[in-house]
Structure 1
């Protein structure tokens, strides 16, 4: 089968997915087009323009199937390249813009949500990496359509729902490791993008509370960084001082995996996670997952792994930091007492 694979915003999680797809299905003939994971607004709206008129020869070749990420402006691309209009198309949703948290700084627009909606409707089938992702898109689309003034056809959301299902991104085989652990000190690894949607304020507040409790621990903060780094990271490094272990992105995968193997906890503070590959990889290496009681994590981990979450709209960040710090303190004391 000749497959055209389109990754319109090729961030780390998207690279992980597409490389795994190609590697694990070598019997097919793959053609891959990707665009860098930067300049989000332009990339979302401009990918069809970039590809249709910059990769016309590649796109005009005969394909048996098109697999595109949800960032792809599929309706425009199929219009620009007529041959694609008749090719079966599958869209994979790593995330959806209906459930993406607001930083309060961005220009408010329904454009990204509309693009997700049009792309879902343009596809023959849609796959989601979690039921949380699927459900929030369907609910978000229904709420948006209800606000539109007129000429909104019936059955739009039902059409997407009928042609969709959940298929999580599988972990790479090398993710499953024997846990080595460390004696004595308790090691916590936070391994996410250094951006607002991963909730660095909660990380900062909870770690300060844990430090103030007088327990021994080391915090490793790793993950992808961008040009603008939230101020909380520098505050965290200053506040925790000697309790900081590894700091910054790890280029070596083997070194990163070794860190996960030796960690007691892999931690998420996210406002935005539709599957949580970083935490899943930590758990596969033997670290204990500590995650918020929301997002896709309610599908992935038992209640024992989830700390109490609060509605951010009522300014309950302080309560969540207390809950997280208390959860970690209990785990630290259990290790000291020899309790698994």
Structure 2
């Protein structure tokens, strides 16, 4: 099978997924085109033109399979490159633009939402990384499209999309799962941006400091030029409690997760949460808000109602009484061996003889 893998905004989690696909299915002859994760509006709207002009020879080849992220304007690309029309077309939604929170400086732009919808319409198979991602797209699209000046019969299509779409998370590599840590080291390993709600995380730590509760903290994750000011102020008052600060090389990042005990999320935006899953795989007990994608993946004992007060209460209990901590979720359920067969089905592969 010859396959074209398209990623229009190749952020870290998207590259992680694409690398995993190629490694999990070496029997497929992969050709990969991707665009750097910057200039979002240009990427999401201009990717067919960029690829058509820069990669014309590749797109004119004959492919059995096209796998694209939801930021790829697949409908336009197939129109510009009709040779792709005969391939099996799979669109993978890492996220959807209908449920993406906007900062106070952002305005609603319909173009990225329409690209999501056109990609889904052009696909033979639509895949989401969580039920929350699927459901929030359908609900958001229903509200968005109700504003159109013509009352189109969209509800049957949205209902079919919800019923027939697949839910397959981005899998983790096949590796040994570390046992749970029982110490007092807390890790934050998310993007340093407003939608991850770092203010709530540091507000909870400030309460723990005021109560005299002993802990250490490792604050990692991808950084950008424009980052929330709370990181700089928190670094000053956390002082010697900090064991790691800032983005880390891969080996150092993994070692820090191995040495940590609790991983926390306070996010307002998450469709799967690979950073939390990676930390759980390395022995960190997750503490995540009871919203977004997290009920899809974590038991009640690892979720808090979502407010700072509840987060402080749960951390206080876990730090002062380690025996009260719940069991570590089994990360093997998120690794490639658990999902290869389901991915093979959506890609149109026949089962291998050893899995038939």
The answer to whether the superposition gives a TM-score over 0.5 is yes
Equivalent residue of 1:9, what SS?
A: coil
Q: Given that residues 8 and 71 in structure 1 are in contact (C-alpha distance below 8 angstroms), is that contact kept between their aligned partners in structure 2? A: yes
**Equivalent residue pairs, number:** 324
Q: In the alignment, what sits opposite 1:261?
A: 258
Moved more, 128-137 or 207-216: 207-216
Q: Given that residues 121 and 160 in structure 1 are in contact (C-alpha distance below 8 angstroms), is that contact kept between their aligned partners in structure 2? A: no
What aligned pairs does 1:295-310 form with structure 2 within 5 A after superposition?
295-309=292-306
Q: Does 1:7 align with 2:7?
A: yes
Equivalent residue of 2:321, what SS?
A: helix
Quick one: distance in 1 between partners of 2:30 and 2:57? 15
Q: In the alignment, what sits opposite 1:164?
A: 165
What aligned pairs does 1:1-340 form with structure 2 within 5 A after superposition?
1-154=1-154, 155-174=156-175, 176-179=176-179, 181=181, 186-251=184-249, 253-309=250-306, 320-335=307-322, 339-340=324-325
Quick one: distance in 1 between partners of 2:9 and 2:324? 44
Deviation at 1:86?
A: 2.5
Q: Given that residues 179 and 261 in structure 1 are in contact (C-alpha distance below 8 angstroms), is that contact kept between their aligned partners in structure 2? A: no
Deviation at 1:142?
A: 1.1
Deviation at 1:153?
A: 2.9
Q: Given that residues 289 and 305 in structure 1 are in contact (C-alpha distance below 8 angstroms), is that contact kept between their aligned partners in structure 2? A: yes
Deviation at 1:178?
A: 2.3
TM-score by length of 2: 0.88
Quick one: distance in 1 between partners of 2:26 and 2:278? 24
Q: Given that residues 220 and 244 in structure 1 are in contact (C-alpha distance below 8 angstroms), is that contact kept between their aligned partners in structure 2? A: yes
Equivalent residue of 1:5, what SS?
A: strand
Structure 2: gaps of 5 or more residues: 326-356
Superimposed CA distance per residue, residues 52-97 of structure 1 (whole angstroms, 9 cap, x where no aligned partner): 1111101111100000000111111111111112222000000001
Q: In the alignment, what sits opposite 1:312?
A: none
Moved more, 87-96 or 258-267: 258-267
Alpha carbons of structure 1 residues 180 and 329: separation in structure 2 relative to 1, 3 Å: closer
Alpha carbons of structure 1 residues 276 and 189: separation in structure 2 relative to 1, 3 Å: same
Quick one: distance in 2 between partners of 1:85 and 1:258? 46
Q: Given that residues 180 and 262 in structure 1 are in contact (C-alpha distance below 8 angstroms), is that contact kept between their aligned partners in structure 2? A: no
Quick one: distance in 2 between partners of 1:296 and 1:339? 25
Quick one: distance in 1 between partners of 2:4 and 2:321? 51
Deviation at 1:162?
A: 4.2
Q: Given that residues 64 and 88 in structure 2 are in contact (C-alpha distance below 8 angstroms), is that contact kept between their aligned partners in structure 1? A: yes
Quick one: distance in 2 between partners of 1:145 and 1:178? 46
Quick one: distance in 2 between partners of 1:148 and 1:210? 50
Q: Given that residues 135 and 162 in structure 2 are in contact (C-alpha distance below 8 angstroms), is that contact kept between their aligned partners in structure 1? A: no
